[in-house]
């Protein structure tokens, strides 16, 4: 009888362990995937901020070039003069298994305002946003966007203008950005003053 009780205890204990392992797996896997997604989001955000800083520094310097390696995903440059809702933007997309947010609206990141025209010396020269896209395979895509907006003084406007090489505006490995030129468009600013454009060439591979 004692031996039978021990066998029953072992069977019950084994069943409890299997149940606990199953529960841990059921709840643990989404948590692990969520943690991985947060890590990927953080890395992508660091990449985007560093890329923007280097572009802005290059525009201010007035000469030179730099390149960045794409850590993951796809980067696309949409030119200043392109007939595209995303014109004058850098789009960076990475696949993830879990969403950062379920709200489909645009999320403003590290940017003081969403105004398309900013005040020179106060607003950032760019707007950074995030959209979370649901994919057909059950996964998600984090879509980061850097848009370079016009910054106005009382009498003029300033803007970084992206000029990708048409055949290489998509990058999966490396993006090279070079200072091209400055251009003044008389009366081209939103305040009717001159618009000073700083042209940046972008080549992706």
Instruction: Give the per-residue pLDDT at 66.
Output: 98
pTM of the model: 0.83
Instruction: Give the per-residue pLDDT at 32.
Output: 53
Domain limits at 89? 2-204
Could you give the number of structural domains in the chain?
1
Instruction: Give the per-residue pLDDT at 17.
Output: 45
The arithmetic mean of pLDDT across residues 139-154, rounded, is 96
Query: Mind listing the pLDDT tens digit for each residue in 170-204?
Result: 999 999 999 999 999 999 999 999 999 999 999 99
The arithmetic mean of pLDDT across residues 112-131, rounded, is 95
Q: What Å distances lie between residue 7 and 2, 18, 116, 202, CA to CA?
A: 9, 17, 73, 71
């Amino acid at each position: 009888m004692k031996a039978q009780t021990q066998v029953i205890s072992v069977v019950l204990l084994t069943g409890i362990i299997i149940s606990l392992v199953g529960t841990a797996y059921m709840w643990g896997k989404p948590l692990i995937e969520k943690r991985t997604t947060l890590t990927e989001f953080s890395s992508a955000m660091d990449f985007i901020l560093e890329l923007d800083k280097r572009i802005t520094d290059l525009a201010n310097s007035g000469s030179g070039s730099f390149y960045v390696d794409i850590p993951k995903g796809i980067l696309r440059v949409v030119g200043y003069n392109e007939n595209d809702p995303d014109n004058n933007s850098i789009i960076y997309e990475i696949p993830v298994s879990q969403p950062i947010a379920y709200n489909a609206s645009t999320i403003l990141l590290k940017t003081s305002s969403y105004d398309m025209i900013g005040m020179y010396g106060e607003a950032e020269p760019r707007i950074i946003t995030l959209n979370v896209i649901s994919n057909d395979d059950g996964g998600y895509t984090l879509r980061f966007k850097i848009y370079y907006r016009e910054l106005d003084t009382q009498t003029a406007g300033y803007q970084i203008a992206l000029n990708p090489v048409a055949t290489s505006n998509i990058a999966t490995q490396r993006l090279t950005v070079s200072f091209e030129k400055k251009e003044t468009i008389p009366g081209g600013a939103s305040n009717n003053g001159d618009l000073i454009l700083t042209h940046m060439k972008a080549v992706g591979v």
